Structure 1
Amino acid sequence: MFCNKNKRSLSTLTWTDCLDRINAHNNKVNAFVSVQDKSVLESDATQLGKGGPLKDMPIAIKDNFCTSALPTTCGSAMLKDFVSPYNATVVDLLHQAGAKLVGKTNMDEFGMGSANIFSNSGPVSNPWNYKANHTALDDASQIRVAGGSSGGSAAAVAMDMCAVALGSDTGGSVRLPAAYCGVVGYKPSYGQVSRNGLVAYANSLDTVGLLGHSVSDIASVYNVLSHHDEKDPTSMPADLRTRILDQEQDLASQWQDTKGGDLSGLRVGIPNEYYVQELSTEVLDTWRSGIKSLRDRGASIVPVSLPHTEYALPAYYIIALAEASSNLARFDGVRYGHRSDKGSSTDLIYADTRSEGFGSEVQRRILLGTHVLTAGTYESHFLPAQQARRLIMDDYNKVFLMKNDLGDDNKPSTATDQKVHVLLSPSSISTAPTLQKCLPDRSKDNSEGVVEAYVNDVMTVPASLAGLPAITLPFGRSPTNGYPIGLQLVSQYGYDRFLLDISDRIMDQI
């Protein structure tokens, strides 16, 4: 029953088409930071999986995945022109499946941002700025961002520069750009896809994500990538994968004989806590329309409560920034990456190198994360954030019909008739904001603007903290500015193929 089992890929893009579109439009959108040479794509060296399941599918890779053929810069001057000696596991798997890796996509520096404006290669422009006639807007103040930190990957898909793009999702970095750019953005369960070769931002949150025009295409790539990897200590064990897959098959049998668009028997939860003050009217209206659409197709709509959601955003930024501070300490000007040439004394090399190599947003997050890990603050901030994370995970376990096989005891604290298969919520609080609104104003204190930017993640971070599979689907467009609006579906840990199948059925009728 799972999508893509008997359904061919919907993409008709060829890799030569994609190279042509990159050459024609990348100067406006700035989605790619490096592009593979056509002669390399034609060579036998990329044909390891010539007859594989992804034969000749053009795929783009976010620039924080290690590749030996193209630079891996993470959007940072710290790693300018750095070429990895090895490929990330997912890159090797794509090669073996016959995919054509057309290039590396732009990103917020080290994945730290929600608008893809903090990049050493410059900001990514939302493709919907050019959708009508592929020419620049007359008024530069109306140019909107693509979202971050995987904005380059989302923009590449939206501009048909690739069929599918890899991104990374730490707190919404695939789902938010997908909503802004009008494409599908999928974050698997934590541990489903190997992180080996993904440059770390926050180890306990980082997830390999996928962006595409169709759920079917994303499922094709996910099936290639979802395997246990002994090189990744957080990779889901093979026995747990098998156990959950068996449970998914039992659950899927409920829809085995129904038509593609029929959602009878599906229980969809609407979390009360996602009605936040910052939610725009047009996004709220799209959410209501999405609820009505699913109800009209047979789904049962169930109001649910996730009471600890209000703690998700502060808990996320405490945990993520603390882990980022630890991870980025390795960039010291000695082992690899940029090194200051000021001729500093030994004790200043570290400080000069990091001041020159890291951008303002990365420096801000490192400083905040270092503060969180200091004596006293660790006890008052970091430990409570971890406790809040546990409570958020418990909230999800109480509302899902399926058991969490990571240790949920499935206590009957919630009546079965109040439990659900999936949750439906907005992916963002608004349509894509303008570039002008997102760029920091260096002429004055911008602390309020920084906090406002962090609020953009409020819809996506709860699922990240719980490690759950989540997907953004394009559900509509704003009646005022015409830009896309996405809604998010979340399911229980490990039920990735079930979520993809339900999403595919929904997309059939959108």
Structure 2
Amino acid sequence: MGYKLNIHDPQDPTSLPPSTRSRLASGRRASESIRVGIPLDYNIATLQPSVRNAWIRTLKALHANGHTLHPVRLPATQRALSAYYVLAPAEASSNLAKYDGVRFGSRAEGIDGTPESVLFAKTRGQGFGPEVQRRILLGAFSLSAQAIDNYFIQAQKVRRLVQQDFDKVFAKQNPLLDDIAETEGTGDKVDVLLCPTAPSTAPLLSKVEAQDPIQAYMNDVFTVPASLAGLPAISVPVPSATEDQNIENEEYTPFAGVGIQIIGQYGDDKLVLDYAKELQAVARDS
């Protein structure tokens, strides 16, 4: 017996209600030609040559398959990474606050807490890894009374700007917004965006173990804008070209591939999945 997943679950607060689902378009067929947006703001100086080459090859292959290419600008996405690492730790700090070994989670052995600390100080110190502890501390600070206006509130404003940037370039109107008059003409509007998933290929494990946390965060520069805007996105692996192996890159390995990301408008999940399948076929043939 099969179960249908694409329905509203009243027990899940993140599940879309029927009123919102009715506003989502049925989606375009995978056989149709689409307008592919090329975010110029994603062509950053630190983009590895092998990643840029794979991006260009993929775009050329899609154009050869009948899809049209259109450069677009997403200026607010340059601030998305900073906003994300204010908002994400704040959410982590809030969501993980219940794991204190009293109500939820396991408790550390022995006596926990001193007159100078809270009851669950040792429990939370042992229960979370360094990165989680780092995010909890950052989130607790950004949500504090003295910092919330300068950090959390400002990051939420950037989040709205990022969403507005995406809404301006997509041909389909965001179904979560109130009905407004359509912008005349669709000359600069696109159906999906195509860009690298990360500015570099996957590093060696030895490099990751010695990597500074800030360096790791910088690799999220292309993925956090869609997350902030709540848009469907998928990463498709594309093989590196043979000539790219000669590019000077200490982290290159013969098995390294390049992630190419497809981003769609809110509610266009099926469209994103359909063209991810086509992109896989294009990557194999190119």
Q: Give me the TM-score of the superposition, normalised by structure 2.
A: 0.88
**Which consecutive residues of structure 2, in runs of 5 or more, have no partner in the other structure?**
246-252
Q: C-alpha displacement at 1:299, in angstroms?
A: 0.8
The aligned runs of 1:22-171 (5 Å cut-off) are: 49=1, 52=2, 97=3
Kindly provide the amino acid, as one letter, of the partner of residue 461 in structure 1.
V
Match of 1:400 among 158, 161, 170: 170
Would the alpha carbon gap of residues 335 and 403 (structure 1) be closer, same or farther in structure 2, given more than 3 Å must change?
same
Deviation at 1:418?
A: 0.6
SS at match of 1:311: helix
In the TM superposition, 1:56-455 aligns within 5 A as 97=3, 224-244=4-24, 247-249=25-27, 251-252=28-29, 258=31, 264=33, 266-345=34-113, 348-407=118-177, 409=179, 415-440=185-210, 449-455=212-218
Match for residue 474 of structure 1? 237
Counterpart amino acid of 1:500? L
For the residue of structure 2 that corresponds to 1:308, the secondary structure is helix
SS in 1 for 2:11: coil
Q: Distance in 1 between matches of 2:87 and 2:131?
A: 17
Corresponding residue SS for 1:225: coil
TM-score scaled by structure 1? 0.50
Q: CA separation of 1:327/1:508 partners in 2, compared to 1, >3 Å: closer, same or farther?
A: same
- 1:475 to partner: Cα distance: 2.0
* Gapped regions of structure 1 (runs ≥ 5): 1-48, 53-96, 98-223, 442-448
AA matched with 2:26: E
Whether the 8 Å CA contact 2:198–2:259 is kept in 1: the answer is yes
- CA distance in 2 between partners of 1:414 and 1:351 (Å): 58
Q: Name the SS for the 2:70 alignment partner.
A: strand
Contact 1:478 1:485 in 2 (8 A): no
Residue aligning to 1:174: none
Query: 1:163-211: per-residue Cα shift (whole Å, max 9, x none)?
Result: xxxxxxxxxxxxxxxxxxxxxxxxxxxxxxxxxxxxxxxxxxxxxxxxx
Contact 2:77 2:162 in 1 (8 A): yes
Task: Give the superposition deviation at 1:412.
Answer: 5.3
Over residues 213-257 of structure 1, what are the superposed CA-to-partner deviations in whole Å (9 max), with x where a residue is unaligned?
Answer: xxxxxxxxxxx433211111121112322331xx335x43xx6xx
Cα deviation code 1:271-306 (max 9, x no counterpart): 011012221110000000011011111111000001
Distance 1:418 1:406 in 2: 21
Tell me the number of residue pairs that the alignment of Structure 1 and Structure 2 aligns.
Answer: 271
Native 8 Å contact 2:113 2:121 kept in 1? no
Q: Of residues 210, 224, 228 in structure 2, which corresponds to 1:465?
A: 228
The change in CA–CA distance for 1:271 and 1:421 in structure 2 (over 3 A counts) is same
Distance 1:409 1:239 in 2: 14
| Aligned-pair CA distance for 1:474 | 1.8
After TM superposition, give the deviation of residue 488 of structure 1 in Å. 0.6
Considering only aligned residues, what root-mean-square deviation do their CA atoms show, in Å? 2.0
Q: 1:323 is matched by which residue type in structure 2?
A: E
In structure 1, C-alpha distance between the alignment counterparts of 2:163 and 2:54, rounded to whole Å: 27
Partner-residue secondary structure (3-state), 1:243 = coil
Aligned-residue identity in percent = 44
Distance in 1 between the 2:205 and 2:109 partners? 34
Partner of 1:105: none
Query: 3-state DSSP class of the match of 2:85?
Result: helix
SS in structure 2 of the partner of residue 471 of structure 1: strand
* Structure 1 residue 348: Cα displacement: 4.5
1:345, distance to aligned residue in structure 2 (A): 5.0
Q: CA deviation at 1:501?
A: 2.0
1:49-100 deviation per Cα after TM superposition (whole angstroms, max 9, x unaligned): 4xx3xxxxxxxxxxxxxxxxxxxxxxxxxxxxxxxxxxxxxxxxxxxx5xxx
- Does the aligned pair in 2 maintain the 1:399–1:414 contact within 8 Å? no
Distance in 1 between residues matched to 2:239 and 2:18, nearest whole Å:
38
Determine the C-alpha separation between the residues in 2 that align with 1:248 and 1:413: 21
Task: Assess, with a 3 A threshold, how the Cα gap between structure 1 residues 408 and 459 changes in structure 2: closer, same or farther.
Answer: farther
1:489 aligns with 2:245: no
Shift of 1:315: 0.6
Cα distance in structure 2, aligned partners of 1:340 and 1:363: 16
